[in-house]
Amino acid sequence: MTTMATTESRWTGGLSPFGMSWQKLMMWWFIVTDALLFAGFLGGYGFSRLGSANWPAPSKVFSMPFLTVMTFVLISSSATMACAVAAAKARDRAAVARFTALTLLGGVIFLSMQAWEWAHFIGDGGRPAGNPWGDARFGSYFFLVTGFHGTHVLLGVVILLIVALRARKDRYTDNGVEVAGLYWHFVDLVWVFIFGCFYLI
């Protein structure tokens, strides 16, 4: 008689304890480590800003309505991504392709708006090394953090492009779409933190 039956739980081995594929688990861990990278940036930002005597007021430099639209676009793209994942589970190929393409569009609009914002910032005299408004690090952190986040969005757009193309050719797996979705939601969530730390307060 084996004792296997009596100790049956998720952790007995032979199966994933969280009931998820290794791809998904790996993406979760990647998200954890990437989140800490942003935490490093934002922690440094907080440390610098709290210790600074002349940090400029963000509302004087950035256009808040514009940023709100930007944020809205990105968050909406999270919603369409969720629809794509649901469609993949339902094996609705056309819907996967459609919703992924919509998400991708959201990402591209966001990136274009960010490019416009950078151009504006630079036009007003903001540089990585200094700016007309106050503490030199204000611009440094702006370029560093939004640039790093923008790179993540760009990478996400490339991933979504691949997912969309594969969906058109019916070569997608619901697992793959879900893993891509996890990444996309993460990138959106990070933006919410950046939005809060950089622009709102």
Q: Which is nearer to another protein, 26 or 200 (CB)?
A: 26
CB of 127 to another protein, least distance (A): 8
Q: Which is nearer to another protein, 61 or 167 (CB)?
A: 61
CB of 14 to another protein, least distance (A): 3
The two structure tokens encoding residue 77? 């793209």
Region label for 125, one of left (φ > 0), alpha (ψ between -120 and 50) or beta (otherwise): left
Q: How far apart are CA 145 and CA 191, in angstroms?
A: 10
CB of 165 to another protein, least distance (A): 21
Q: Which is nearer to another protein, 7 or 169 (CB)?
A: 7
Q: How far apart are CA 57 and CA 199, in angstroms?
A: 9
CA 146 distance to own-chain centroid: 11
CB of 99 to another protein, least distance (A): 27
> Applying CB under 8 A, which residues contact another protein?
1-4, 7, 11-14, 16-18, 22, 25-26, 29-30, 32-37, 39-41, 43-44, 47-48, 51-52, 128-130, 135-137, 140, 144, 148
Q: Is 141 exposed, middle or buried (0-12, 13-18, 19+ CB in 10 A)?
A: buried
Number of residues that make up the chain:
201
Q: How far apart are CA 96 and CA 117, in angstroms?
A: 31
Q: Which is nearer to another protein, 103 or 140 (CB)?
A: 140
CB of 193 to another protein, least distance (A): 14
